[in-house]
Amino acid sequence: MTNYLSKTEFEALQQRLLAGNAGLTISKQVARQFFNRVANKAVVSITGESVLVKKLVLFSLYGASISLFLASLGLVFIEFEWGAALAIPALGIFWSILTVLTSDKGSHWIGHGGLLLSLAPIALLPGAYSYPIALVGMSIWIHRFIFSLSQFWLEQLVTNSYDAFDMMAEHIEIEDSQQSIPDEQLP
């Protein structure tokens, strides 16, 4: 359902959001794509607010995630020698599948549980196995965190700016206990 609100309806919704009587959600995937694809100049021209620092933080986290994964591949190459010929492609496939599966779905606790499980091998396994596994786990956790942080920042932007709300109206889900939002406007 798409909710197109007037400025006064948005201000009433904003008060209910701040009071905790309503909830606003944008999917993690949409939020990540927003920060990746929408130019800061376009956001500033529509909302008057810059998201440049947020975009830089997210791109830095992308770099950290990929760097940790590449470091794990380097450790595998050094530690396993010829065995790395099998381990590196397997690790690449494993990382690719997990980053796709964990990016947009699941709760906050599932992401943290996965990080803790990936760090457990440091205490249980020899270094040749534990450090690459821990680096891959941290890489996947950071990748997942990018989606959550994008969602938080975009929901914050949309909650504080009518123009941002209007721009993202097709992607916003509103849970409102008062149901004062008009439902007759469907796409």
Instruction: Band the pLDDT of 187: cuts 50, 70, 90.
Output: very low
CA atoms of 135 and 118, how far apart (whole Å): 8
Give the pLDDT confidence of 91-104 residue by residue, as tens digits: 888 888 877 776 66
Per-residue pLDDT at 7 exceeds 70:
yes
Give the pLDDT confidence of 113-144 residue by residue, as tens digits: 666 666 666 667 666 677 888 888 888 888 88
Mean pLDDT of the 166-173 span:
85
Per-residue pLDDT at 83 exceeds 50:
yes
Mean pLDDT of the 6-11 span:
82
Rg of the chain over all Cα atoms, to the nearest angstrom? 21
Separation in Å, CA 100 to CA 10, 29, 96, 104, 157: 35, 11, 6, 8, 26
CA atoms of 94 and 12, how far apart (whole Å): 47
Instruction: Band the pLDDT of 58: cuts 50, 70, 90.
Output: very high
Most confidently modeled of 4-13, 70-79, 97-106, 166-175?
70-79
State residue 180's pLDDT score. Answer: 47
CA atoms of 109 and 102, how far apart (whole Å): 12
The number of residues making up the chain comes to 187
State residue 15's pLDDT score. Answer: 84
